[in-house]
Structure 1
Amino acid sequence: MDLQAIQDNSAFRQLASERARLGVGMSIVMATAYFAYILTIAFWPRLLGHPLWSGTVITWGILIGVGLIALGFLLTALYVRRANSRFDRLNQLLLEDYR
């Protein structure tokens, strides 16, 4: 197999393009959420230090931090779902062209 021939294949270009767009998009979402949280901690710590309700030690900061972890899991699950459906199909088309 010639590497240039694979790179010129439309299925390969589509697969690479879709994977890159999805990866970059999800990375931007996660990085934005994370940095917003960090900047809030740095500049407005009282905002995240308020308890969820009176009498509890659990603060909004803890809840939002757990939410960030959940966002990471959610984005990972969405990527895996997309990879197992669309990307695997495009990969199979590419493999069929070179068998």
Structure 2
Amino acid sequence: MDERQVEQILQNPKFKEMVARKSRLSWTLTIIMLVVYVGFMLLVGYNKEFLMSSVSGGVTTIGMPLGLSIIVLSFVLCGVYSYIANNTLDSLNEEAMREVEAITHEKGLH
């Protein structure tokens, strides 16, 4: 693949759309996870009493289900990314790849 073909691929509208959508999705999910995690860490640092209070008067504190929910959230966000990538972005990826293959075969036609 020569420089001209690489440039054609990079300028391809479907390729650009695919990259933009994947980037937007990745950054959105990353920001959600960071906000939740940093929020929890701030809560740990500045309001330990709240986290140490009991859920129902027993041994389990509020901090335990909150911490567990952060772990579960990370799995859920991975699932969301996989679902969107498999159902939306893969079709866009296939269209971009067809156009890329046409560009790479174009050299053989000339």
TM-score (norm 2): 0.85
Residue 30 of structure 2 corresponds to residue 23 of structure 1: no
> Could you tell me which of 21, 34, 37 is aligned with 2:37?
34
C-alpha separation in 1, matches of 2:15 and 2:65: 42
Structure 1 residue 96, shift from structure 2 partner:
1.1
Structure (1 or 2) with the larger CA radius of gyration: 2
Structure 1 residue 59, shift from structure 2 partner:
0.7
Runs of at least 5 residues in structure 1 that lack an aligned partner in the other structure: none
SS of match in other structure, 1:98? helix
C-alpha separation in 1, matches of 2:86 and 2:41: 33
Residue 55 of structure 2 corresponds to residue 52 of structure 1: yes
Aligned pair count reads: 98
Runs of at least 5 residues in structure 2 that lack an aligned partner in the other structure: 102-110
Structure 1 residue 14, shift from structure 2 partner:
0.4
> Could you tell me which of 67, 75, 79 is aligned with 2:69?
67
Structure 1 residue 30, shift from structure 2 partner:
0.4
> Could you tell me which of 14, 17, 20 is aligned with 2:17?
14
Identity of aligned residues (%): 26
Structure 1 residue 34, shift from structure 2 partner:
0.3
Q: Which residue of 1 aligns with 2:105?
A: none
C-alpha separation in 2, matches of 1:5 and 1:85: 26
For CA contacts below 8 A with separation 6 or more, give which structure has more relative contact order: 2
TM-score (norm 1): 0.94
Structure 1 residue 84, shift from structure 2 partner:
0.4
